[in-house]
Chain A
């Protein structure tokens, strides 16, 4: 039962092979047994999940069911859930219970999907290893001494360890795709604005995007069918009609033009990871695709520009945490200034404070043009690079990460080392494009991720390409022993 993806679970529920209550109960028991070693959940929603499951079974019996009614999933603890703690991985929100559901959560609730729990994450999604969480690091199910990637490390570890069949996640600079690569999952980051950000705790508003961590492209399509859509409550959500993202899954790939950016196969890429990616590309050739070397000449600037733009936006977004209206508040403040400063210094962890400082500096008087404005111009260069590439090819492929998962604690000395983890993923966020990471091999029994980047609103095509690859290969069915 735990090996089933959400498409399979949906079919089994419809066929009456088991009830939602049965599978939900089984998952809750498994999480309690196995998650002590992984720390992938912050909050388990036992009572609510069972109530949701019973209601789902009733609705299904009455013929009033969505395709995913009764399917249990987990939500990253960045999505607000009414009546259930939403911590964002921070001491600042350790006591925060939102009075409303994020639109993404509400969409799943409306479809009758069960919330098993809220998954661990880097604090305020700032990290690439899930080591900055106030609730402690998450362990990679493939090897517990290794990180699961971040910031959606809890969602990734939970899906990989079969502690949920699928999970929501968010991606600001690679936070869905890199954990997907490290944990052997399919990780979809849709086009910026495709799913609502309402009720999704803000890190960098022009980059943040909700997406999915699943065991297959088909499951990702089913999840996106529920999540995607315009939301009047999020003025940056895009008012373009959604589609049935499963509709094109079975289209053949004959004639597909794949761009291979030379910059993503340059120095710094692990040789064995590269070999696995090259093998995957050969697989696409067998499926009828052609490969073309392309250049994204400004891609080396993406990490630099990102570490101005994202911290700048974060410093503004996180100014709301003041100890007055919600969240942590320091003891016995002597005046208002003391309340703000001690609340924020005690409530935020080191990496969050660091990024607030960097962003504050970049936006401060005298530096705005040199940093923030310059970074936005580089963002234009990067977008132009992609526009030029998509004039020649349909999609772009390369490694998601330069190497496989690394050891917990091995990259925490210099923040810049960690920032460079997202070297292949960050440009996609700056340009607002959709990207998907799919399992494409194993190196020393650790998963390798292939990143597929598409033009804006090409999710359906990306899922089709990923699904066809998964019909021809079985990397996505490999699982760690838990």
Chain B
């Protein structure tokens, strides 16, 4: 299965990536090879099989809804690229 330049642009946008023209060309070429690899799956008969999402099939454990973490707001915000008065700064969203 081949993939068009439009498909690449559509996927890049979904993934919030901005690709240069050269990167788009490279992506289209490598996608063709990767899709050829993964399309080999279609030859397997899986009609009676349940999908296996996880090697260890068990339900998620539940716990009491209590606070277990201490407040690390200041420590965590030390890693923020832009922070002011305890708030994360982003470009203006609402005019």
Contacts and interface: CB of A to CB of B under 8 A. Distances in A.
Interface of A: 95-97, 99-100, 192-193, 206, 232, 235-236, 238-239, 298, 300-301, 303-305, 307-308, 315, 319, 322-329, 333-342, 344-345, 348, 350, 353-354, 356-358, 360-362, 364, 370-371, 373-381, 383, 414-416, 419, 429-433, 456
B79 A97 contact: yes
Contact of A378 (B12, B39, B44): B44
A305 B49 CA distance: 15
Q: Chain B interface secondary structure, helix, strand, loop or mixed?
A: loop
Given A357-B11, A414-B30, A338 B81 contact: no
Q: Chain A interface secondary structure, helix, strand, loop or mixed?
A: helix
A361 B63 CA distance: 35
Interface of B: 7-8, 11-12, 14-19, 23, 26-27, 30-31, 33-34, 36-42, 44, 46, 49-56, 60-61, 63, 72, 75-76, 78-82, 88, 90-93
B80 A326 contact: yes
A99 B56 contact: no
A377 B18 CA distance: 33
B78 A97 contact: yes
Given A333-B91, A414-B30, A380 B80 contact: no
A380 B51 contact: yes
A375 B41 contact: yes
Contacts of A324: 80-81, 88, 90
B40 A379 contact: no
Nearest to A433: B55
A204 to B, nearest CB: 11
Given A336-B91, A357-B15, A99 B41 contact: no
15 contacts: A206-B54, A232-B63, A325-B76, A335-B91, A339-B91, A341-B18, A345-B19, A353-B15, A353-B17, A357-B8, A360-B15, A376-B52, A381-B44, A416-B34, A429-B55
Nearest to A376: B51
Given A301-B44, A305-B41, A356 B15 contact: yes
Contacts of B36: 416
A324 B78 CA distance: 12
Nearest to A329: B81
Nearest to B45: A381
Given A374-B46, A414-B33, A383 B80 contact: no
Nearest to A363: B14
